Amino acid sequence: MSCCTAVRCRGRCNRVCLCRNAATVACTENHSESKYIDLEENLVQPTTLTLRRIDDFHHHFRVQPTLQQVLELLILYCGRAIVMPNLANAVLTAKQVIWYRNEFINILDWLAQGRSFMPLMTIAIQDNTTPEMVLAAHEAGAVAGKVYPLGVTTNSDNGLREFFTQNMNDVYRTMKDCGMKLLLHGEIDAERTLTTQREDAFLPIFERLVNENPDLKMVFEHVSTKNAVELIRQMGPNVAGTITAHHLVDTLNDVIGTGVAPHHMCMPVPKHYDDRDALVEAATSGNPKFFFGSDSAPHAKEHKECAHGKCGQFTVPHALCMLAEVFEGQGMLYRLEDFTSRFGANFYGLPLNEGTVTLEHVVWEVPPTYGDFVPPNAGKLLNWRIVST
């Protein structure tokens, strides 16, 4: 679906571009010819990029009125999103799945204005979850169950304590049998474990889960370390990982390096430069085990800029623009659509989205706020902007 705006240059640059002798290329998807500007002697760079509408396989929406504010931004470029279940009262049952989905439907009925958007519902898997609850939730439309280990993030005070009880083994087996995916917040709040080490501490649990459930599809969400990337690569086709836009950009220095930056604080916290480099390489590699999940989380300004600020970055307004910059910087724009619009859909067994989103290569300044929320890039310049959907 991606327009012919990005191919690998055979000149010295080896970046995603078009060589001068191919300055315009008719699009194979029947879009208009692409437009280019000269940047180097033998390099022509696209000024627009058209992608298939994307999927976001990890998104926090909350409830009204926040839900509407988030949807208004997301449906501009996204066709589907995995809906996180960690509300103040977590989504645990079929009845709650139906209620929460209806909240989306009521808003989308008048908000969508011809744009297609599908919320992909989930339930939280807790110690008291039963196989019967899983089956009922699946029949009500839940496509996945999400594990939040105890105390690792927002609203995880009732998170999973024991991963390998007989009841949990029965839950995993039921999920496999009915086709639900197991989504994992890959951190553990172990004794004498720093926040920056929680993901590494979780990896032995993750490895055991995979080994004992080889036929259950699992997603290690918002991967943030080099070690997790390497482990996911080694595992079979039933295992994948989502990567956020902000973990491709931030390190711990962006959070606390020059004072506390509350709107960059999130869980898992951004880490070392080596970890960020490994994430960028994984995201842009063309490996279908890695795909996009924004983990965009709306917290009002007063709940971020306070003594005990909430964790989560509000990236929904410009996550796709951030991704375009990262992929462009690696010379991999031609792989962006796979990461955002194809690999995740294939893993979940979903048809590819219809429709497109077009970005323009133009410098713009991120607004200081979007409604009640402050984006992490407020006041900063980005080089790609969404112009049509």
375 domain-assigned = no
Q: What token pair was written down for 124?
A: 């939280």
Q: How would you write the pLDDT of the chain (389 residues) with one tens digit per residue? A: 554 344 433 332 333 333 323 333 333 333 333 333 333 333 456 799 999 999 999 999 999 999 999 999 999 999 999 999 999 999 999 999 999 999 999 999 988 776 889 999 999 999 999 999 999 999 999 999 999 998 777 777 788 999 999 999 999 999 999 999 999 999 999 889 999 999 999 999 999 999 999 999 999 999 999 999 999 999 999 999 999 999 999 999 999 999 999 999 999 999 999 999 999 999 999 999 999 999 999 999 999 999 999 999 999 999 999 999 999 999 999 999 999 999 999 999 999 999 999 999 999 999 999 999 999 999 999 999 999 87
CB 334 within 8 A of CB 68: no
In a domain, 368, yes or no: no
The tokens of 380 are what?
């900063």
Euclidean distance between CA atoms 180 and 2, whole angstroms:
30
Residue 171 sits in a domain whose CATH number is 3.20.20.140
Flag whether 366 is in a domain: no
Q: Say whether both 295 and 275 belong to one domain.
A: yes
- Both 31 and 63 in one domain: the answer is no
> Which pLDDT does position 44 carry in this prediction?
55
On the question of a cis peptide bond just before residue 298, with omega within 30 degrees of 0, the verdict is no
Same domain flag for 25 and 109: no
Of these residues, 55, 200, 250, 295, which one is catalytic?
Answer: 295
Residues 291 and 222 in one domain: yes
Query: Are residues 327 and 234 both part of a single domain?
Result: yes
Residue 205, φ and ψ in degrees, nearest 5: -65, -45
User: Residue 111: what pLDDT?
Assistant: 87
Answer yes or no: 200 catalytic.
Answer: no
Instruction: State the total domains in the chain.
Output: 2
Q: Does 316 map to a domain?
A: yes
Q: Are residues 124 and 12 in the same domain?
A: no
Is the torsion defined by CA of 41, 47, 48, 49 positive or negative?
positive
Question: Distance between alpha carbon 275 and the CA centroid of its chain, in Å?
Answer: 17
Q: Is residue 286 part of a domain?
A: yes
Chain Cα centroid distance, residue 363: 24
**Is 146 part of a structural domain of the chain?**
yes
Instruction: Determine the Cα–Cα distance for residues 124 and 148; give it in Å rounded to an integer.
Output: 7
User: Are 30 and 86 found together in one domain?
Assistant: no
**Which structural domain, as residue segments, surrounds residue 287?**
53-353
Report yes or no on 384 lying in a domain.
no
Judgement on whether residues 255 and 349 belong to the same structural domain of the protein: yes
- What angle in degrees, to the nearest 10, is found between the helix axes of 66-74 and 94-111? 60
User: Is position 24 within any domain?
Assistant: yes
- Which of 31, 46, 61 terminates a domain? The answer is 46
Q: Are residues 161 and 300 in the same domain?
A: yes
Residues 259 and 158 in one domain: yes
What is the structure's pLDDT at 1?
A: 52
What was the pLDDT predicted at 45? 65
The answer on 227 and 106 residing in a single domain is yes
Residue 55 has a pLDDT of 98
89 with 13, same domain: the answer is no
Residue type, 277: D
